[in-house]
Structure 1
Amino acid sequence: MQSFRTEIENPVVEKDIIDLERKIRQFREGKVDDERFRSLRLARGIYGQRQPGVQMIRIKLPYGKVTSEQLHRIADVSDKYSTGRLHITTRQDIQIHYVSLDRTPELWAELEKDSVTIREACGNTVRNVTASETAGIDTEEPFDVTPYADATFRYMLRNPIGQEMGRKFKISFSSSDADTALSYMHDLGFIPKIRDGKRGFKVLLGGGLGSQPRHADVIYEFLEAERIIPLIEGVVRIFDRYGERAKRMKARMKFLLKDMGVEEFTRLVKEEQKAVPYDTYPIETEGFDSFPAALENLEHIEVPRVEIDDAEAYEHWKKTNVFPQKQQGFVAVGIKVVIGDFYTDKARKLADLVRKYAGNELRFSLRQNILLRHVREDLLPFFYRELGALGFTQVGYDSTADITACPGTDTCNLGIANSTGIAQVLEEVLSEEYPEYLDNKDVAIKISGCMNACGQHMMAHIGFQGMSIRSGKLVAPALQVLLGGGVLGDGQGRFSDKVIKIPSKRGPQALRTILDDFRANAEEGENFLGYYDRQGKTYFYDILKPLSETDNLTEDDFRDWGHTENYKQEVGVGECAGVVIDLVATLLYESEEKIEGAGTALEAGKWADSIYHSYTSIINTAKALLLAEGKKTNTHAGIIDQFQDVFVVTGKVELQAGGEFSDLVYQIRKNEPTGDFAGKYMQDAITFVNRVKSYREEELIAS
């Protein structure tokens, strides 16, 4: 690999990109362990695809906001380094595929020219901060949550507390009690409230999907807005310290809360607040709403004359895809993007359209769609024509016929069955046979290619999960049918029940059976969840059971959607939040790097960052010796306790001031983040690392 110039003005970003290029070179030269390198690249949004030798790049777009300039930049990057296809995720990111690892630093540098990042889009980090795509224009919102989501994103980006946790960490901000950002399934979820004229949030902790979904707990009915950043930092610190690190399937926040209990966890968070650099963190709210600038620019636009050829189709589109804003005279326009995929030629034209005729921004939605904001109501016929030319006027935005699906076996290592193929077929079934569901927003259908629930099937009214099924010696693609999930609002939600497993090619008939039964037997005014509860899980199992038989499979049943060859279950190693196995030498080397980071932060006056780098250095160093002894290193807290017993009590490693190892480490929570303490703690870390290195060298010589 050749070194390159990034031409990035921000020195922090430039250093980050150059460091990635250096680590890739070291990896190619065999100087960096494969597992450790995986952790580093994942934290830079670089994910190994199912196809060997290429990467998926996840572009991190906080709360889904993209300007015209940024969308042009993303399109250019996709054409230059990828295939020209853009995929919208259920976390409001953009993914591009089939990228060479060696080209990722220059790709990242190109994106940063328009302030677009891939940092912490994957890996064991604080992931993209999501929010309702209607935030700022929602007619029901108490206030715009965009500034708070933005402040959270910026505060956590490159923050040392969230770089190497046991698993990923997800945060959401809903715009209103409708809870469209799904707070109840997030590690931290925020719903805006106003109490006595003051802004604040209802706060939920510890939700999650996957094979063992957990409904988040309400830890605050009302938390003042200026206190959310200190709370977030405290929660992430405690999760980092006590979260599982060895058993990947038990490493999410929901499992830590199950083991520890919410009361004990929140006690530790409060105890940690002394170490957090801010008691309160006021958030600037001015300048986030693009409406004032949009209004000024749009007031003088001449309305292009447009003749509508099909008035009925136009009115149907307005009914399902156009929404009033709280700003009078303006509307938002929803674009239904089938399975979240669109291409760069259309992206550029869309970017030009919103720059000239709207608020110069769009937002990607949690349901893999696009929302155009600040569209003058009298410009709707023009937008209908322009969007129609791009194929972007399909009705049913956010409706039952707007199915959410993860990439599945198209590109994901963990995929068991094809998600996108079945999603497209089911959308065709709905459009052709159940047109009434194009206007229905009360039933959501979601599909995931495996149990990890990236397609959010566990919270759908009707969900499908990719699986496999055996018939004799042969294996066929299958779907687990789930029913009864949904968002109830104000932090409440339901997880769906696993009802039955069927061959994948029978998915369309399963959907027909469910919808036909609902149409025939629902009571007047009864919604789908009410109907499901009244009939019960066993009832639906019985009506779907004929579809589950495997003794009558046809040749076609052994081919997954979109494939011509027989199905093979080939599940790779998942990377998105994989727990890495660190080598002793690598950990000790990284401990020194952490101390360098502590020194850099100290010089910059970032006391809390310096302290956390020193803390991580001490922990990594202790972990290295424990691994060398074959000890478990599941949590930071466990490392601290074990190191005391194995190395300090036995006299193998002497601490500078005597006492216990926990006294050295837990200075971090007993001292305020001052410059004096940051300097002292860094020196303590240096002394400890040097003593452990000396001990390690002596042990290696003796052996």
Structure 2
Amino acid sequence: MNNLELTDNVSAAAKRDIFELQKKIGAFSNDEGAEEAFRKYRLTRGVYGQRQPGVQMIRIKLPYGYVTADQLVRIADCSDKYATGNLHATTRQDIQLHFVKLADSPQLWADLEDADITLREACGNTVRNVTASATAGIDPDEPFDVSPFAQAIFEYFLRNPISQEMGRKFKISLSSSEKDSALGFMHDVGLIAKMGKNENGQPVKGFKVVIGGGLGAQPFPAQTAYEFLPEDQAIPFIEAVIRVFDRYGERTRRHKARMKFLLNDLGLEKMMELVQEERTALKNKVYPVQDIAYSWKNLGERVPLAKEEILALADAQLEDSEKELFQKWLATNVFEQKQKGWYGVSLRVLLGDMHSSTARKLADVMRQYAADDLRVTINQGYLLKFVKAEDLPALFKALSQLGLADPGFDSTADITTCPGTDTCNLAISSSYGITRALEVMMKEEYPDLIYNNDIKIKISGCMNGCGQHSAANIGFHGSSIKNKKLVLPALQVILGGGFTGANSEGQMGDKVIKLPSKRGPEAMRTLLDDYQNNAYEDEYFNQYYARQTKNYFYQLLKPIADLSEVKDDEYRDWDHDELFKTEVGVGECAGVMIDLVGTTLIEADEKLSLAHEMLAEGVWADGIYHAYNTFITGAKALLIGEGISTNSQHSMVKEFEENFGKTFYPEAGDDSKPFSQLVFSINKNEPTEAFARGFVGKAEDFLKNVKAFRAGQLAENSIPALQELVYGQDS
């Protein structure tokens, strides 16, 4: 392995992470350690295996999509040096780099950390990137800027012990207004900005809080936990929810491990009771959020220009061939901010892909015409802030030269898509190919769709929903259809998701019919024509869908799905010449349960070590949670050795007590439960120094006893080599 180069800008915590990643990669390359353990580890460091063997996707975590011009250049430099020169914007406001060598990932991470960019917890069973309305801070409809709250949530849960190894990933969004533009309805926790009043009747910031939303094969809309929660209680509430999810959430059946299933099983009332029980143990009972000193905060207001004045400026500065496109761009990609006289400018990016050379030039455009605050949008575009009205024509010209001035941002013609089979292990059919075909078709046949913001189209390469197809008015996900002895690439059509109107509640779409992928444009054409010809005046697409019912649309699309005649080309996917075949790899959206007792005990040692580190630093709550995980992991190791499977931490404790209680607590009576009482005392006590030291000490004693018990088992079975591997020279 090459020596790492880290600057003084890299924090001590990040340096530790990067050196540890390099060490783990070296061990894995030398065939040391279990592959699944390494996979689980690297995922939480943003290193994700691609469909292509031997290369990785690196997911760069950008809280609420915020990136400066210098950071954008650094990401572009890293893409050139370590990847393919492409920057892929995601629906979670991340940027991904593809085809990176595993051995290069530590230095890539170090280069990013030098610019204050992290990979930590961008993937894996962690709190993923915190998303927010891209317009936060400039949204004319917002009661306040949610950006500082998104940043605070990101910082609070980064490396937080309660969210490092959950049963599945956990997603949080913050919306600027009741329009829910960050799609809180499909998140584990969605916060929607709202003003309320305190006990003295004074206005206070807060949020409507929804929980338990999610996409995937079984999409669930979130349920309302609070109509209003004061802002200083938001982070403590999220922490309590995560603690409940960590303890009670499914850990064996991966397809049932998201929080939406736990909420569905428990019910909202019981879920909220368990959340309330966690409050005693919280590190912070309230957590007020400090404002952020963005560079644009002192820009002040300007005298607004009327549209006619802006067009007059364009007439004087643009060529005749540019003027019509400028008018479309002005109408669809530009809006006046809540700050008078300033404008936000949205950039439509096909497939979310931008070349590094374009990114560098965009950074220069930012420096010249906008604030140093670029936001990645949830529909895979970008947003510039604080553009002067008189600069709009020149900005348009500059963006046009970069291919970033296409009109119709976030319109029906602006399709959201995941990379699909181009890079993803889980994808079944091409997302990129059908997206290109649909956008070309709509541009040629339905040019006015750039003005329609009510119908959203989203595409995923599989049912898991990275393209958010279930939350779209018209959605597709990749699939396959068997016809005789051959298999066709297919699209599952989903209708009626997303929003009905500007202030409607978000909802999940219905699966209507499956049809060959090559017939996607025909299906889209049929849907658009039918809606245009038969909808009532001012009737939204979802209202029309609900009025006509699912069966109407099934019958409408059924002739397109008919396989009595199939052309040879339909056995080939978009952008592919070879015959289609389903090749789904092992998904990496979450870590897999490790089934090696020794490896699990090593994990328990690591958690105990972290507990002692937190005691040394005086962070009592984190030390307690690391100790709790020491109990859980130690118990899990012995249960694995006996072939006993459990589906949650709560059931794990019960199983351990039933199977090992007498061995570890021989003095206990038949009805007493000393292990569960000890472990679950975590949420019965304030996180004081006294409780933390006592709890960590008991975890240390417990782990010593577990290791001694396991050593005895190994000795009985004459496995000294494994014993040495697990316990080393110091045990």
Question: TM-score range with shorter-chain normalisation?
Answer: over 0.9
CA deviation map 1:297-326 (0-9, x unaligned): 999xxx998334332221111001101100
Asked if residue 672 in structure 1 is aligned to residue 686 in structure 2, the reply is yes
SS at match of 1:622: helix
Asked if residue 504 in structure 1 is aligned to residue 517 in structure 2, the reply is yes
Asked if structure 2 preserves the Cα contact closer than 8 Å seen for 1:415 and 1:466, the reply is yes
Asked if residue 426 in structure 1 is aligned to residue 438 in structure 2, the reply is yes
Deviation at 1:57, TM superposition (A): 0.3
Deviation at 1:502, TM superposition (A): 0.7
Runs of 4+ in 1 over 6 A off after TM superposition: 296-299, 655-658
Q: Report the Cα distance in structure 1 between the residues aligned to 2:446 and 2:376, rounded to whole angstroms.
A: 27
SS at match of 1:274: helix
Q: Report the Cα distance in structure 1 between the residues aligned to 2:487 and 2:21, rounded to whole angstroms.
A: 41
Asked if residue 291 in structure 1 is aligned to residue 296 in structure 2, the reply is yes
Q: Report the Cα distance in structure 2 between the residues aligned to 1:609 and 1:656, rounded to whole angstroms.
A: 30
Deviates more, 1:3-12 or 1:112-121: 3-12
1:549 is matched with which residue? 562
Partner residue of 1:203 out of 197, 209, 216 = 209
Asked if residue 330 in structure 1 is aligned to residue 321 in structure 2, the reply is no
- What is the root-mean-square deviation of aligned Cα atoms in Å? 1.9
Asked if residue 388 in structure 1 is aligned to residue 400 in structure 2, the reply is yes
Asked if structure 2 preserves the Cα contact closer than 8 Å seen for 1:183 and 1:491, the reply is no
Deviation at 1:292, TM superposition (A): 2.4
Asked if structure 2 preserves the Cα contact closer than 8 Å seen for 1:298 and 1:358, the reply is no
Asked if structure 2 preserves the Cα contact closer than 8 Å seen for 1:308 and 1:314, the reply is no
Partner residue of 2:485 out of 473, 480, 490 = 473
Please give the TM-score of this superposition, normalised by the length of structure 1.
0.97
2:200 is matched with which residue? none
SS at match of 1:375: strand
Asked if structure 1 preserves the Cα contact closer than 8 Å seen for 2:78 and 2:111, the reply is yes
**Counterpart code for 2:127:** V
Asked if structure 1 preserves the Cα contact closer than 8 Å seen for 2:301 and 2:340, the reply is no
Q: Report the Cα distance in structure 1 between the residues aligned to 2:667 and 2:360, rounded to whole angstroms.
A: 61
Deviates more, 1:258-267 or 1:682-691: 258-267
SS at match of 2:499: strand
CA deviation map 1:568-609 (0-9, x unaligned): 110001001243324110111111111111111111121111
SS at match of 1:395: coil
2:622 is matched with which residue? 609
Asked if structure 2 preserves the Cα contact closer than 8 Å seen for 1:462 and 1:485, the reply is yes
1:228 is matched with which residue? 234
**Counterpart code for 2:675:** F
Q: Report the Cα distance in structure 2 between the residues aligned to 1:222 and 1:608, rounded to whole angstroms.
A: 27
**Counterpart code for 1:569:** T
1:24 is matched with which residue? 25
Asked if structure 2 preserves the Cα contact closer than 8 Å seen for 1:136 and 1:145, the reply is yes
CA deviation map 1:493-543 (0-9, x unaligned): 121111111110000000111111111112222221121122111111112
CA gap 1:491/1:245 in 2 versus in 1, 3 angstroms = farther
Asked if structure 2 preserves the Cα contact closer than 8 Å seen for 1:179 and 1:487, the reply is no
Partner residue of 1:248 out of 226, 248, 254 = 254
1:38-53 alignment to 2 at 5 Å? 38-53=39-54
Q: Report the Cα distance in structure 1 between the residues aligned to 2:420 and 2:646, rounded to whole angstroms.
A: 32
Q: Report the Cα distance in structure 1 between the residues aligned to 2:483 and 2:598, rounded to whole angstroms.
A: 49
Asked if structure 2 preserves the Cα contact closer than 8 Å seen for 1:463 and 1:483, the reply is yes
Deviation at 1:405, TM superposition (A): 0.5
1:306 is matched with which residue? 317
SS at match of 1:363: strand
1:521-540 alignment to 2 at 5 Å? 521-540=534-553
Asked if structure 1 preserves the Cα contact closer than 8 Å seen for 2:426 and 2:587, the reply is yes
CA gap 1:387/1:173 in 2 versus in 1, 3 angstroms = same
Asked if structure 2 preserves the Cα contact closer than 8 Å seen for 1:45 and 1:118, the reply is yes
Deviates more, 1:502-511 or 1:541-550: 541-550
Asked if residue 700 in structure 1 is aligned to residue 682 in structure 2, the reply is no
2:609 is matched with which residue? 596
Partner residue of 2:461 out of 405, 425, 449 = 449
Q: Report the Cα distance in structure 2 between the residues aligned to 1:297 and 1:117, rounded to whole angstroms.
A: 36
Same amino acid, percent of matched pairs: 52
CA deviation map 1:23-63 (0-9, x unaligned): 11111222221001100000001100000000000000000
Asked if structure 2 preserves the Cα contact closer than 8 Å seen for 1:466 and 1:478, the reply is yes
Deviation at 1:7, TM superposition (A): 2.8
Deviation at 1:663, TM superposition (A): 1.7
Q: Report the Cα distance in structure 2 between the residues aligned to 1:297 and 1:161, rounded to whole angstroms.
A: 46
**Counterpart code for 1:263:** E
Deviation at 1:296, TM superposition (A): 10
Asked if residue 463 in structure 1 is aligned to residue 475 in structure 2, the reply is yes
**Counterpart code for 1:49:** Q
Q: Report the Cα distance in structure 1 between the residues aligned to 2:607 and 2:303, rounded to whole angstroms.
A: 50
Deviates more, 1:519-528 or 1:466-475: 519-528
2:721 is matched with which residue? none
**Counterpart code for 2:207:** F
SS at match of 1:90: coil
Instruction: Give structure 2 stretches of 5+ with no counterpart.
Output: 198-202, 305-312, 718-731
Q: Report the Cα distance in structure 1 between the residues aligned to 2:655 and 2:31, rounded to whole angstroms.
A: 32
Q: Report the Cα distance in structure 1 between the residues aligned to 2:613 and 2:301, rounded to whole angstroms.
A: 44
CA gap 1:390/1:297 in 2 versus in 1, 3 angstroms = farther
Asked if residue 128 in structure 1 is aligned to residue 141 in structure 2, the reply is no
Asked if structure 1 preserves the Cα contact closer than 8 Å seen for 2:248 and 2:650, the reply is yes
SS at match of 1:493: coil
Q: Report the Cα distance in structure 1 between the residues aligned to 2:174 and 2:61, rounded to whole angstroms.
A: 16
1:587 is matched with which residue? 600
Partner residue of 1:355 out of 357, 367, 370 = 367
Deviates more, 1:349-358 or 1:433-442: 349-358
Instruction: Give structure 1 stretches of 5+ with no counterpart.
Output: none
**Number of corresponding residues:** 698
